[in-house]
Amino acid sequence: MTDTLRVALVQHACGDTPSTNLDRSLAGIADAAADGAQLVVLQELHRTRYLCQHEDPALFDLAEPIPGPSTQALAEAARHHGVVVVGSLFEARAPGLYHNTAVVLDSDGRLAGRYRKMHIPDDPGYYEKFYFTPGDLGFEPVETAVGRLGVLVCWDQWFPEGARLMALAGADLLLYPTAIGWDPRDDEAEKQRQREAWITIQRSHAIANGLPVLSCNRVGHEPDPSGASPGIDFWGSSFVAGPQGELLAQATPSKEQVLMADIDRKRSQSVRRIWPFLRDRRIDDYRDLLRRFRD
């Protein structure tokens, strides 16, 4: 491996037609590869609009098996361009059993691994528990030609435990395909508080674990098909942070963009030597972390 890893995040809007959305992702992979990317990360559920704004059994028809048609398309792109690709799909595992799943295609097109989203939200506009079963593959990095990828998904990004477990399992990078945005009814101050919290929590994972973080979000307005809400304005702002939380690159909140960044592979080792958080963990006294709450 080279000392520098060139990475790309493909941030785009999604419309009603899955094939068109997938084509946007594939075009982003091609553009990133042409600019020298070795690793390309796509946003959460990039093949469809964000389907969890309401509960509709008919939307399960959008799910597909893994491997399946979208996995194959991503695999062909990875092989053709010689890049590692991280995609995010609505996985149909069995009748009545579906997951929010990230797939990792190695640079030779091989399905190197997958991660099933572990933390599943159930909030206004984000009714994911209706659609997705919590993951059962644990927090295991995926070995690829560019290193061990600690792939997590969206809501996982708010929980330090997932990032830590990926780091303890030897991840070289933390990756977060994401779909998050504003309720248009919120005032500007509240919108900015939410966005800054989202950025800050992920930068903190970089700092606490001494690892780069790549977070890829979508952009654009997506209406609520039920009409119960005004929909979601996805805030983009995809970014790459270094192992001290430093921002290496950040995309616009409102436009489609293939965000490029160069990561120094040696910095994690250097940072961990002067900030030895893993050394100083008190693993002998963390038992209460296994409790829901201390009453």
Distance, in Å, from the CA atom of 175 to the CA atom of 189, rounded to the nearest integer, reads: 28
- Where would I find the H helices in the chain? 18-34, 69-81, 160-168, 188-209, 267-274
Q: How many Cβ atoms are within 10 Å of 250's Cβ, its own excluded?
A: 18
Using an 8 Å Cβ cutoff, are 63 and 98 in contact?
Answer: yes
Given the residues 14, 52, 91, 117, select the one marked as catalytic: 117
Query: Residue 224 gets which letter from DSSP?
Result: -
Asked about 117 being catalytic, the answer comes back as: yes
Distance, in Å, from the CA atom of 239 to the CA atom of 237, rounded to the nearest integer, reads: 6
- Prior bond to 69 cis, omega within 30? no
Cross-sheet strand order for the sheet of 257-264:
111-116, 97-105, 84-94, 39-42, 4-11, 257-264
Using an 8 Å Cβ cutoff, are 106 and 82 in contact?
Answer: no
Token representation of residue 82: 């010689």
Asked about 216 being catalytic, the answer comes back as: no
Asked about 255 being catalytic, the answer comes back as: no
Given the residues 14, 154, 216, 222, select the one marked as catalytic: 154
Token representation of residue 44: 């959460």
Which residues are annotated as catalytic?
Answer: 44, 117, 154
